[in-house]
Amino acid sequence: MNPRKFPLYVGCFLSGIFLLLGLIGTYAFGPKLLRWQDAASWQRVPGEIVSGEIVSANGGRGGRTVRPQFTWTYEAAGSARRGEGYGIARVTTSDLAAVEATITRYPVGARVEVLVNPADPDDSILERDPVSHLVVLFVPPFFVLLGLIGAFFTLTGWLGWYRENTRNLFGRLVRAAFAVFLRPAVMKTFVVMVFALVCGGLVWWSVAKGNVIGILVAVVFAYGLWQAMRTNPRRRTRR
**Angle between the 6-38 and 135-158 helix axes, to the nearest 10 degrees?**
150
Q: Are 173 and 180 in contact (CB under 8 A)?
A: no
Vertex 53: Cα angle to 47 and 56 (nearest 5)? 130
CA distance 223 to 165: 44
Which of 112-126, 184-198, 204-218 is predicted with the least confidence, judged by mean pLDDT? 204-218
Q: Per residue in 10-31, pLDDT tens?
A: 888 888 988 998 899 888 888 8
Each residue's pLDDT tens digit, 169-206: 888 888 888 788 778 888 788 878 888 888 887 787 67
Round to whole Å and give the CA distance between 187 and 210.
34
d(CA 138, CA 90): 15
| C-alpha torsion 164→167→173→175, nearest 10 | -10
